Amino acid sequence: MNPIFANVETSVFETMSRLARERQAINLGQGFPDAPGPADVRAKAAEAVVDGWNQYPPMMGLPELREAVAAHYRRFQGLALDPNAEIMITSGATEALAGALLALIEPGDEVVLFQPMYDAYLPLVKRAGGAPRFVTLRPPHWRFDEADLAAAFSDRTRVVLFNNPLNPAGMVYDREALALLARFCIEYDAIAVCDEVWEHVVFDGRAHVPLIAIDGMRERAVKIGSAGKIFSLTGWKVGFVCAAPKIMKALAKAHQFITFTTPPNLQSAVAYGLAKDDSYFAAMREGFQRSRDRFGRGLAERGFAVLPSAGTYFLNIDIAPLGFSDDFDFCTRLVEEHGVAAIPASAFYVENAVKTVVRFCFAKQDATLDGALARLDNVRPR
């Protein structure tokens, strides 16, 4: 068996969700909302299953969805994308990431990764033959500077994989940070694969800035989005990939041999959803922001050191001030003894570069959050 997948452990999300089920714990580990999601979008999908087309849709995605993605990104991010040459629909962002890495990396190419990194990145980069180079981001500010990038980029850099807003950190990078990264991508002639699945889940009046919109990046960025996050329907694996036509041609070749296509009924429902009024998107953000604040307040009242969260479904605590030194031990104890599942952020780092950050998903109804807080009353080292 290929050792890259044979030796990798089961995803921490799956492991923690399984533990949560076994222990009947409140699951604030894996990131998914516990509300049913927008009824009208789900009704559109149901209609499309019953009355619509259920055979293979076009490989690049339903035209109505590609047009809806272009209109959506024009409305919210000021992008001008050609739905016929620059947009492709995939089975979730995960397929888009896998396809981009397979299509763009040649064995031996260097790939710059920012850790903490989403768990799929490193195995996919390695399986594509890439040699990872890490930029390590640390709490509480998670920033990178010129020296960090200079240490990671080289003449062999082919791809940069960048997640913004950043899971698990809840960090949103601003235009200045993006411009610095763009400068390195241009100087080293690298392509940026931009995982922007959290683009709509940003708080406190922030607006997401896509890396592809920064000067010089239009022809060297692959922008990846996910309907699962935009509509709080994480099981809906519908992703969008945007890139200049020359790059898109290669991405399409990878897609045609991975999944080829994505269920047509979900595609039509997502096309409908992307055209919803601004008020839907604003209300979604406000709802999650309220949950963030409610849960963050409760954690702080219980003595936890809460890190800021500018976006995503996640809030982190630093467990060091309370006297804990190992996030895995902490999370194991939390689920086994207190009945609350969380994610140890060291799972997002190589070699445990950071060991004292624990991630909670706050995208839950008030009763779920309050129930979890009540179980976190007396968490102290033994």
Q: Which residues bind ligand GLN (CB under 6 A)?
A: 11, 13, 30-31, 167
Q: Which of the ranges 41-49, 81-89, 231-239, 355-363 carries the binding residues for ligand PMP, by CB under 6 A?
A: 231-239
Quote the least distance from Cβ 167 to ligand GLN, whole Å.
5
Single out the residue of 110, 195, 199, 318 in contact with ligand PMP (rule: CB under 6 A). Answer: 195
Q: Which is nearer to ligand GLN, 163 or 261 (CB)?
A: 163
130: closest CA among 149, 151, 103? Answer: 103
357-361, strands of its sheet edge to edge: 305-306, 314-318, 357-361, 343-344
Q: Which is nearer to ligand GLN, 30 or 91 (CB)?
A: 30
Alpha carbons 317 and 300: distance in angstroms, whole number: 9
Verify binding: residue 31, ligand PMP, rule CB under 6 A: yes
The DSSP 8-state label assigned to residue 213 in this structure reads G
Q: Which of the ranges 48-56, 234-242, 329-337, 347-355 carries the binding residues for ligand PMP, by CB under 6 A?
A: 234-242
Quote the least distance from Cβ 94 to ligand PMP, whole Å.
3
Q: Which is nearer to ligand GLN, 242 or 342 (CB)?
A: 342
Q: Which is nearer to ligand GLN, 226 or 261 (CB)?
A: 226
Q: Which is nearer to ligand PMP, 266 or 379 (CB)?
A: 266
Per the CB < 8 A criterion, the answer to whether 243 and 86 are in contact is: yes
Per the CB < 8 A criterion, the answer to whether 45 and 54 are in contact is: no
Verify binding: residue 167, ligand PMP, rule CB under 6 A: yes
What residues form DSSP beta bridges with 358?
A: 317, 344
* Four-point Cα dihedral 175, 180, 183, 187, nearest 10: -160
Q: Which is nearer to ligand GLN, 11 or 252 (CB)?
A: 11
- Among positions 273-312, residues that touch ligand PMP (CB under 6 A) are none
- The angle subtended at Cα 234 by Cα 232 and Cα 254, nearest 5°, is 130
Single out the residue of 125, 128, 197, 242 in contact with ligand PMP (rule: CB under 6 A). Answer: 197
Residue 332 binding partner per list ligand PMP, ligand GLN, none, with a CB distance cut-off of 5 to 8 Å that depends on partner kind:
none
Per DSSP, helices labelled H in 78-142 are 92-104, 121-127
Q: Name the one residue in this structure whose structure tokens are 């922001």.
A: 289
> What is the CB-side half-sphere exposure of residue 367 using CA atoms within 13 A?
2
Interface characters, 314-343, with ligand PMP (x: CB under 6 A): ------------------------------
Verify binding: residue 237, ligand PMP, rule CB under 6 A: yes
Per the CB < 8 A criterion, the answer to whether 198 and 233 are in contact is: no
Verify binding: residue 228, ligand PMP, rule CB under 6 A: yes
Q: Which is nearer to ligand GLN, 19 or 252 (CB)?
A: 19
Residue 280 binding partner per list ligand PMP, ligand GLN, none, with a CB distance cut-off of 5 to 8 Å that depends on partner kind:
none
Q: Identify the burial level of 251 via C-beta atoms within 10 angstroms of its C-beta, where 0-12 means exposed, 13-18 middle and 19 or more buried.
A: buried
Interface characters, 52-71, with ligand PMP (x: CB under 6 A): --------------------
Verify binding: residue 164, ligand PMP, rule CB under 6 A: no
Q: 245-258 and 92-104 are packed helices; what angle lies between their axes, rounded to 10 degrees?
A: 110
Single out the residue of 38, 92, 139, 344 in contact with ligand PMP (rule: CB under 6 A). Answer: 92
Pull the structure tokens for residue 328: 């895995």
Q: Identify the burial level of 25 via C-beta atoms within 10 angstroms of its C-beta, where 0-12 means exposed, 13-18 middle and 19 or more buried.
A: buried
Which residue spans within the chain are E strands per DSSP? 26-27, 87-90, 110-115, 131-136, 157-163, 191-195, 221-226, 239-242, 305-306, 314-318, 340-341, 343-344, 357-361
Verify binding: residue 239, ligand PMP, rule CB under 6 A: yes
Q: Which is nearer to ligand GLN, 30 or 368 (CB)?
A: 30
Which residues sit at the interface with ligand PMP, rule CB under 6 A? 31, 92-94, 118, 163, 167, 195, 197, 226, 228, 234, 237, 239
